[in-house]
Amino acid sequence: MHFETVAIVGRYQDDGLDAPLQRLAAMLRRAGCEVLIEAETGRNLDIRGHTLASYEEIGKRAKLAIIMGGDGTMLGAARMLATSNVPLIGINHGRLGFITDIPLDGTEDAVASLLNGQYEQDERCLLEGRVMRGDQEMFSELAVNDVIINRAGRGSMIELRVEFNGAFMHSQRADGLIIATPTGSTAYALSANGPILHPQVRAMVLVPVAPQTLSNRPIVLPDDGVLNITISALGRVESGASVHFDMQTLSNCQAGDRVDVRRSPHRVRFLHPTGYSYFSTLRSKLNWNRLPQPLDNVE
C-alpha cells in the first residue's frame, strides 16, 4: 500500500457527483485506506460514514488527494495543498479536463493501479503574486494557471508598464495581460493566442489581451525572474481594473497599483496512470488527431 490515507475533494455543485464519490470512497476503504472527505464536499453532498477534514488537516494527514470534478476544482485544491506537498490525481467530471485527466468511467481501475504504485509523477510550477499599493500589500495568492490583470466590467482599456528583473520591457494599452505558467498556457492564454508550453519548460509566458497595438505579442520569459506590472493609467475616471490569481480576484485596483509575480518555491505534484502522455492529452483536447480530408476527395 503506497497511500495509507487518501483524501477526496469533489465539485459539490455538480449534480450526480454524490454516487460516484461514494463508490470511490467505498473502493478505497476496501483497499485498506483511511478515507478523508474534504469538509465542504462532505457537507454539501451529505456524505456519511467518512471522516470530514479541512484542507489544513488533509495537508497534514493525507498521502494522496483525489480530485473529482473539473480543472477548476483541481486548481483550487492544488493551491490549498501546494505547501503540503500532497500528490494529486484528477477524475474528470467537468467539460475539458487538461489536468483532471482520468475519465469518470475509468476511476476504479486507475485508482487501483495508483494505489499499487503503478503511476507516473508530473511536477508543475506555481506562481506567487501580490498587489502593492505604495508600501501596502493589498492581496497575495498562489496561482497554478495564471495571474491576469484586466479591465473591470465594461471599462475601457488599461495601460500597463511591464518590468522584468528591474529592466523596463514595454508599456501597453490593452484589455488585459496574462502571466501564465506552462500548465496555464493551455487555458486563457491559449484563447488569447499564446503559445503552448510543455509542463517541464521552466518558463512563464506573457500574453496581451486585445492590445491596442497589434505589435504587442506574447513573449516567453525564464521563470527565475521577477515581473513587476504597474497599472499606470485607467481609461476613464470611472473605469477600474482587476487582478485574478486563478479564480481568486481583487477587483478594486487603482492606477498606480503594482502587481509583482514570481515563481513560487512550492510545486504541485500530479500523479497519472502508467502510460500517461501529455501529447495524447493535447491531441484529444485540441482535436489534433483529426486529419484534413485528402485532397483527391475534395471537389
Q: Is domain 5-117 in CATH 3.40.50.10330, yes or no? A: yes
Confidence (pLDDT) at 295:
58
* Full-model pTM: 0.91
Mean pLDDT of 250-277: 94
CATH 3.40.50.10330 boundaries in the chain: 5-117
- At 262, is the pLDDT very low, low, confident or very high (cuts 50, 70, 90)? very high
User: Which is the catalytic residue, given 71, 122, 246, 257?
Assistant: 71
From 3.90.180.10, 2.60.120.380, 2.60.200.30, 1.10.8.350, which CATH number describes the 127-265 domain?
A: 2.60.200.30
CATH 2.60.200.30 boundaries in the chain: 127-265
Q: With 70 as the cut, is the pLDDT of residue 237 above it? A: no
**Digit-coded pLDDT (tens) for 193-224:** 999 999 999 999 999 999 998 889 999 999 99
Average pLDDT, the chain: 91
SS (H, E, C) the chain: CCCCEEEEEECCCCCCCHHHHHHHHHHHHHCCCEEEEEHHHHHHHCCCCCEEECHHHHHHHCCEEEEEECHHHHHHHHHHHHHHCCCEEEEECCCCCCCCCEEHHHHHHHHHHHHCCCEEEEEEEEEEEEEEECCEEEEEEEECCEEEEEECCCCCCEEEEEEECCEEEEEEEECEEEEECCHHHHCHHHHCCCCCCCCCCCEEEEEEECCCCCCCCCEEEECCCCEEEEEEEECCCCCCEEEEECCEEEEEECCCCEEEEEEEEEEEEEEEECCCCHHHHHHHHCCCCCCCCCHHHCC
- At 54, is the pLDDT very low, low, confident or very high (cuts 50, 70, 90)? very high
Active site residue 146: no
Mean pLDDT of 54-78: 95
- At 290, is the pLDDT very low, low, confident or very high (cuts 50, 70, 90)? low
**Digit-coded pLDDT (tens) for 118-172:** 999 999 999 999 999 999 999 999 999 999 999 886 668 899 999 999 999 999 9
Confidence (pLDDT) at 126:
97
Confidence (pLDDT) at 139:
94
Mean pLDDT of 230-256: 83
Percent with pLDDT over 90 in the chain: 73
